[in-house]
Chains A and B, each alone.
Chain A
Amino acid sequence: GDSVTQMEGPVTLSEEAFLTINCTYTATGYPSLFWYVQYPGEGLQLLLKATKADDKGSNKGFEATYRKETTSFHLEKGSVQVSDSAVYFCALSFRPPGGYQKVTFGTGTKLQVIP
């Protein structure tokens, strides 16, 4: 079945450091790929998405590129801020013919940014 593997955390970075959180997936068909973020005490929020190969999703300085050849969707940000401290979830969704869009999540990566 479909699955998502992301790097284990926690990831601790100093403010203004470069961030990469790795995500790879296994899926039948051609899924859409997402990054969701969960800030402390809050619900899941969609951060960015990409729906086909070579698409780049971007939002709030974060970027991720849908790489079909490596089945990856790594999250990057050039300069993190303390306010980026949160748990980041990589996810995929796929709708089979006649079916519905089922989302599969990774286990999450906790990011801690220190001043």
Chain B
Amino acid sequence: GAGVSQTPSNKVTEKGKYVELRCDPISGHTALYWYRQSLGQGPEFLIYFQGTGAADDSGLPNDRFFAVRPEGSVSTLKIQRTERGDSAVYLCASSLGPGGIQETQYFGPGTRLLVL
């Protein structure tokens, strides 16, 4: 079956611009997560959605970052006034639910963002 998909795969933008990154989770998965992976590091948690609501946004680095999931499926991560330090790979993951002991998060291929 189809996995988690993310678009675009690469995004180059200039400092100060606005960007949107999209995630399509696996069909039927109610939980969706965004992570950021900087070069040479492991993924770091940004935000978690259960259904349409952001259940935990404690990982968002500042108020330039925002994410939505209006219909409980596709999610968009939005970054305003981008800075060079925002350059990273942004990963999306989904799971069946909020995480019973057997549940696993499945990751998309990521969007590589480069801010010039």
Residues of B74-110 at the interface with A, using a CB-CB cut-off of 8 Å, are 91, 93, 95, 98-110
Residues of B11-57 at the interface with A, using a CB-CB cut-off of 8 Å, are 31, 33, 40-45, 48, 50, 55-56
A45 to B110 Cα, complex, angstroms: 12
Residues of A86-115 at the interface with B, using a CB-CB cut-off of 8 Å, are 89, 91, 93, 95, 99-108
Of chain A, the residue at the smallest CB distance from B58 is A102
> Chain B residues with Cβ under 8 A from A106's Cβ?
42
- Candidates B45, B101, B109; contact of A42 at CB < 8 Å: B109
Given A46-B106, A51-B102, verify A100-B55 contact (CB < 8 Å): yes
> Chain B residues with Cβ under 8 A from A44's Cβ?
43, 91, 93, 107
Of chain A, the residue at the smallest CB distance from B42 is A105
Of chain B, the residue at the smallest CB distance from A43 is B109
User: Chain B binding site: helix, strand, loop or mixed by DSSP?
Assistant: loop
Q: Tell whether, in the assembled complex, residue A108 and residue B45 are in contact, meaning their CB atoms are under 8 Å apart.
A: no
How far, in Å, is A97 (CB) from chain B's closest CB? 12
- Candidates A43, A49, A95, A104; contact of B104 at CB < 8 Å: A49
A34 to B102 Cα, complex, angstroms: 12
Number of B residues near A (Cβ < 8 Å) is 29
How far, in Å, is A37 (CB) from chain B's closest CB? 11
Q: Tell whether, in the assembled complex, residue B42 and residue A107 are in contact, meaning their CB atoms are under 8 Å apart.
A: yes
**A32 interfacial contact with B, CB 8 Å:** yes
> Chain A residues with Cβ under 8 A from B48's Cβ?
100, 102
> Chain A residues with Cβ under 8 A from B33's Cβ?
103
Q: Tell whether, in the assembled complex, residue B42 and residue A95 are in contact, meaning their CB atoms are under 8 Å apart.
A: no
- Candidates A43, A101, A102; contact of B110 at CB < 8 Å: A43
- Pairs of residues from A and B, 6 with the lowest C-beta to C-beta distance, nearest first: A101-B99, A105-B42, A43-B109, A100-B98, A44-B107, A95-B99
Q: A44-B107, A95-B100 are in contact. List 15 more A-B contacts (CB 8 A).
A: A34-B104, A43-B91, A43-B109, A44-B43, A51-B102, A93-B99, A99-B98, A100-B55, A101-B98, A101-B105, A102-B45, A102-B48, A107-B41, A107-B42, A108-B42
